[in-house]
Amino acid sequence: MSKLVQGYEVVIGFETHAQLSTKSKIFSRASVAFGAEPNTQACAVDMALPGTLPVMNMGAVERAIEFGLAINAHIAERSIFARKNYFYPDLPKGYQISQFEIPVVQGGEVSFFLEVGKETVRKTVRLERAHLEEDAGKSLHEDFIGQSGIDLNRAGTPLLEIVTQPDMRSSEEAVAYAKELHKIVTWIGICDGNMQEGSFRCDANVSVRKPGGELGTRREIKNLNSFKFMQQAIDYEVRWQIDQIEDGIAIQQATVLFDPDTGETRAMRTKEDAADYRYFPDPDLPPLVIGRDWVERVKGEMAELPRVMAERFVRDYALPEYDATQLTQSKAVAAYFEATAKACGQAKLASNWIMGEVSRRLNASEMSIEQAPVSAAQLATLIGRISDNTISNNAARQVFEGLWNKEGEVDAIIEAKGLKQMNDTGELEKIIDDVLAAHPKNVEEFKAGNAKALNGLVGPIMKASKGKANPAQVNALLMKKLG
Ligand code: ADP
Ligand code: MG
């Protein structure tokens, strides 16, 4: 279902460059570590010195295979490298080694859940391909006094370019796709996912059309390096394109940049066509041959994928799909959930606590779950004390606070803060009798049929019990006493 913007349908396709987490470059032995002094990690191959030849890094290939398996794609048994020719100072060879006609990963799909109003809908984006290529160097305009310099440390860094079909229909879908893709590549460990450092860069191709019409002309927003900017950039671009069309101006295919300071997109250059790059097979590299045995071995070694794990959570722990998706955002969160659920035997409560209190506290202190001061075992004990009626939900939040602040173990905190629920009916009955005697008007009104008058009694009872009365028990006793 498409959401229309001023009567236009939005069409988005993504190209994502994921930097593969190898130690060395895709065609040389130089290191890919981030942050080194300029040009200290560029060897003769990366600098394109005459007489050097590229040698395929099989670690990069293996990561491409893992990606293909994770998204149910076809892994080509034979793919080829091509030269993409263009002139730019950060590209000393004068061409980038990439894959063109036959990429290593073909097809596949990425599915995710999306909140639409109150509903959770499942969306699937088809992938066109994913291909291996090398990154270029970088121009440095600020590091040299009055001059620009070239840093070739990044030249030859292995990239997997992941290209979708134009399947997304809103900026929300686009962001959800990008988040899911990010989750997949970091989960299987082929990319560190660091967007600030450029390890995961998205280009959004955006066009608009009247519903049912032909695809509009697209503009490509380059290098979106945060999910927030991604949404802002696409929303701005969509409004801009619609304004142009409404003013009778045709959209020109172009490459644009998003400026976070103004919130606007700006044309960088008119877009080249594939023909401009004069692609041709690279004679320096043999075809990349991937035997079925290699694919089978990689498949056997791969960890359970997030969507498979989420399905298992729904099946084994009877969790709603939404919970299962949230809890499989990262391996660490999933492990924390499973440990808690297994220890307390209450999967839904464990899920509620992790998606609620635990993530609220983690967000507030900008921590990841690995850093959480409350262990899964402690959370499980806490949940156990709620379900055996030792403490109320309210008290449990105070105990959680105590655990977070390292005040001790669950039972010790309950004791120290005096949070034990009042399970002694005698004591509670006395409190109720006192409150009833002190509030004759509420009693009268309730007996006359005003159910709301009960609230005026429950409050003082809970207060008199210092919050330790069990609300269900209070209700039951009140009903008995008031007939
Ligand atoms: P190029 O070779 O110029 O990069 P591709 O055909 O490879 O172009 O498409 C690049 C990306 O643009 C793909 O993700 C594709 O889904 C997307 N795309 C193609 N046409 C459109 C369109 N009309 N509107 C939005 N996205 C599009
Ligand atoms: Mg392309």
Domain definitions of the chain by residue range? 4-294, 304-417, 425-482
* Confidence at residue 348, expressed as pLDDT on a 0 to 100 scale: 97
Confirm or reject: Cβ of 11 under 6 Å from ligand 1: yes
- Between the CA of 162 and the centroid of ligand 2 the distance, in Å, is 9
Q: In one letter, which amino acid is 355?
A: M
CA angle 408, 411, 413 (to 5 degrees): 45
Q: Between residues 246 and 117, which one has the greater pLDDT? A: 246
The CA distances from residue 377 to 298, 338, 389, 408, in Å, are: 34, 11, 19, 13
Ligand 1 atom closest to residue 164's alpha carbon, by position in its atom list:
14
With a cut of 90, say whether residue 321 has pLDDT above it: no
Residue 289: what pLDDT?
A: 98
Q: How far is the CA of 203 from the centre of ligand 2 (A)?
A: 10
Instruction: For ligand 1, say whether the CB of 68 is within 6 Å of any of its atoms.
Output: no
Distance from residue 16's CA to the centre of ligand 2 (Å): 10
Tens digit of each residue's pLDDT (9 = 90 or more) over 150-199 = 999 999 999 999 999 999 999 999 999 999 999 999 999 999 999 999 99
pLDDT of 274 over the 80 cut: no
Q: Could you tell me if the CB of 216 is within 6 A of ligand 1?
A: yes
Output 482 or 226, whichever has higher pLDDT.
226
The pTM score is 0.83
Token pair recorded at residue 465 = 């019990």
d(CA 3, CA 11) in angstroms, rounded, equals 11
CA of 216 to the centre of ligand 2 (A): 17
Instruction: Please determine, for residue 121, whether its predicted confidence score (pLDDT) is greater than 90.
Output: no
Q: Is the CB of 165 under 6 A from ligand 1?
A: yes
- With helix as H, strand as E and coil as C, how does the chain read? CCCCECCEEEEEEEEEEEECCCCECCCCCCECCCCCCCCCCCCCCCCCCCCCCCCCCHHHHHHHHHHHHHCCCEECCEECCEEEECCCCCCCCCEEEECCCCCCEECCEEEEEEEECCEEEEEEEEEEEEEEEECCCEEEEEEECCEEEEECCCCCCEEEEEEECCCECCHHHHHHHHHHHHHHHHHCCCCCCCCCCCCEEEEEEEEEECCCCCCCCCEEEEEECCHHHHHHHHHHHHHHHHHHHHCCCCCCCEEEEEECCCCEEEEEEECCCHHHHCCEECCCCCCEECCHHHHHHHHHHCCCCHHHHHHHHHHHHCCCHHHHHHHCCCHHHHHHHHHHHHHHCCHHHHHHHHHHHHHHHHHHCCCCHHHCCCCHHHHHHHHHHHHCCCCCHHHHHHHHHHHHCCCCCHHHHHHHHCCCCECCHHHHHHHHHHHHHHCHHHHHHHHCCCHHHHHHHHHHHHHHCCCCECHHHHHHHHHHHHC
User: Which ligand is closest to the CA of 161, given by its number?
Assistant: 2
The CATH architecture one would assign to domain 425-482 is Orthogonal Bundle (1.10)
Do residues 108 and 72 touch, judged by C-beta distance below 8 A?
A: yes
Q: Is the pLDDT of residue 1 over 60?
A: no
Between 114 and 175, residue with greater pLDDT: 175
Top-confidence residue, 478 or 239: 239
Query: What pLDDT score was predicted for residue 266?
Result: 92
Cα torsion angle, 38, 42, 48, 51, sign: positive
Question: Which atom belonging to ligand 1 lies closest to the Cα atom of 216?
Answer: 23
Question: At residue 270, does pLDDT exceed 80?
Answer: no
Atom of ligand 1 nearest to the CA of 272: 3
Q: Answer whether residue 441 shows pLDDT above 70.
A: yes
Residue with tokens 């006793």: 477
Mean pLDDT value across residues 48-60: 97
- In the chain, the percentage of residues whose pLDDT exceeds 90 is 76
Question: For residue 369, how far is its CA from the centre of ligand 2 (angstroms)?
Answer: 37
Q: Per-residue pLDDT averaged across 398-406, rounded?
A: 96
Radius of gyration in angstroms for the set of CA atoms belonging to the chain, rounded to a whole number: 30
Task: State how far the Cα of 39 lies from the Cα of 138, in Å rounded to an integer.
Answer: 10
More confident call, 381 vs 445: 381
Give residue 2's pLDDT. 64
Pocket test for ligand 1, best of 16, 86, 128, 205 (most atoms within 8 A of CB): 205
Q: Is the CB of 164 under 6 A from ligand 1?
A: yes
Residue 20 tokens read as 């593969």
Choice between 249 and 392, residue whose per-residue pLDDT is larger = 249
Q: Is the CB of 12 under 6 A from ligand 1?
A: yes
163 CA from centroid of ligand 2 (Å): 7
Q: What is the mean pLDDT of the chain?
A: 93
12 C-alpha to ligand 1 centroid (Å)? 8
- Nearest protein CA to atom 5 of ligand 1, as residue: 163
Beta carbon of 213 within 6 Å of any ligand 1 atom: no
Residue 94 alpha carbon to ligand 1 centre in Å = 25
Q: Pocket of ligand 1, candidates 218, 224, 238: which has the most ligand atoms within 8 Å of its Cβ, to mutate?
A: 218
Are 331 and 302 in contact by the 8 Å Cβ rule? The answer is: no
Best residue among 101, 129, 163, 273 to mutate for probing ligand 1's pocket (most ligand atoms within 8 Å of CB) is 163
Rounded to an integer, what is the distance from CA 33 to the centroid of its chain? 24
Q: Is the CB of residue 207 below 6 angstroms from any atom belonging to ligand 1?
A: yes
| Local confidence band at 478 (pLDDT 50, 70, 90 cut-offs) | confident
Is pLDDT of 35 > 90? no
CA dihedral 96, 283, 32, 371 (to 10 degrees): 90
* Mean pLDDT confidence for 261-267: 93
Q: Which two tokens stand for residue 305?
A: 């994928």
Report CA(14)–ligand 1 centroid distance (Å). 8
pLDDT at 106: 98
CA distance readout (Å), 219 to 6, 12, 233, 253, 281: 19, 10, 12, 5, 28
Q: Tell me which of 7-21, 88-102, 354-368, 448-462 is least confident.
A: 448-462
Q: Residue 447 — very low, low, confident or very high, per pLDDT cuts 50/70/90? A: confident
